[in-house]
Chains A and B, each alone.
Chain A
Amino acid sequence: MMVDPFVISDYCIIRQNRVVKNGNTLHESDETTVAGFLTAIYRHFGINYPKFHKMDNLCKLGFLAAEVLLNHSNLKERYHGDKVGLILANAASSIDTDRNHQLSISNRLDYFPSPSVFVYTLANIVIGEICIRHAFLGESTFFIEKSFDPGRMHHYVYQLLEEEAIQCCITGWVELDSDRYEAVLYLVQKSDIHPDGIAIFEPAKMNEIYLQRT
């Protein structure tokens, strides 16, 4: 029997005030703001990374989802940094921060655009923040879709894995649009390196995980 070459070894969902990893709720919050919730997650997991506080909400969300996803994954011991890929997508791009930047230039009498805001007006910066944190140098791409399409993500990631452009991939959906947010990240590994995956890396399984109640 042919063994499927790639597995979903872990996943993390941050949605509706909960942090879920591999089906287990790791943290629940009654914070009423997105920013408050994200900071609460940071503190709950005892993360020590001061640069976190400079990030915009989208990057904080993606960073935290990756942090939880990769905890105990020992990726460094199994893969070279340049063989770990990051393929993400969302619908709103960086619109949340875009609005902040727009606000800073909306009044010519109080016109002070901020470089630390402007740098976050690109959706792919969340990939950059995750790469810096974990020293990932592999293939990375940020796509925009109206809604999460696991089949499409799977299609592209599978091509990269099959081509051996990467051997491992963090992929998924990191979306934030004012107070609406949702992060669903999958860690995809080669089954000969990580045989005990949660599921085969295939669209149906990705969709099942995405749709689970949180």
Chain B
Amino acid sequence: MEQLIAQLKHEIIEVLNLTELTPDSIDENAPLFVEGLGLDSIDALELIVLLEKKYGLKLGTADEGKKILYSVRTMAEFIRNNNKG
């Protein structure tokens, strides 16, 4: 799980062009949106593409998406629960 979280941090930095961040500076339990990293709507859509492209997972409703994309940890759990990580 920790390895998946570390990998996800790298991938998030890459797909969202968070060039000035290092994986160490991302707290996997902190919210990704609103507070924490303060990502926006386009970032959310990119993370959905990441989950699909890299992990083959499609999100259902917007509400489901909100829960899954809450933090790096919730994303990792979603991937793990769907046996893709």
* A–B contact at 8 Å CB threshold (below): yes
Query: Which A residues form the contact surface with B (CB < 8 A)?
Result: 50, 53-54, 112, 114-116, 119
CA–CA, A181 and B46, complex, Å: 28
CB-CB < 8 A to A54: which residues of B? 16-17
**Chain A residues, CB < 8 A from B53:** 112
B68 at the interface (CB under 8 A from A): no
Q: A116-B42, A119-B42 are in contact. Are A53 and B17 (CB under 8 A)?
A: yes
- Closest Cβ of chain A to B59, distance in Å, is 14
Binding site for A on B (CB under 8 A): 16-20, 42-43, 45-46, 49, 52-53
Bound: A112/B20 CA distance, A: 25
Question: What's the least CB distance linking A210 to chain B, in Å?
Answer: 32
Cβ–Cβ < 8 Å partners of B46 in chain A: 114-116
The answer to whether B18 and A115 have CB atoms under 8 Å apart is no
Tell me whether A53 and B42 are in contact (CB under 8 A). no
A114 surroundings in chain B (CB, below 8 A)? 46, 49
Q: Is the CB of B42 within 8 A of A115?
A: yes
10 extra interface residue pairs, beta carbon distance < 8 Å, beyond A53-B20, A116-B16: A50-B18, A50-B19, A50-B20, A53-B19, A114-B49, A115-B42, A115-B46, A115-B49, A116-B17, A116-B46
Complex CA–CA separation, A213 to B44 (angstroms): 45
Shortest CB distance A115–B (Å): 4
For B19, what are the chain A residues with a Cβ–Cβ distance below 8 Å? 50, 53
Contact check, A115 vs B45: say whether CB atoms are below 8 A apart. yes
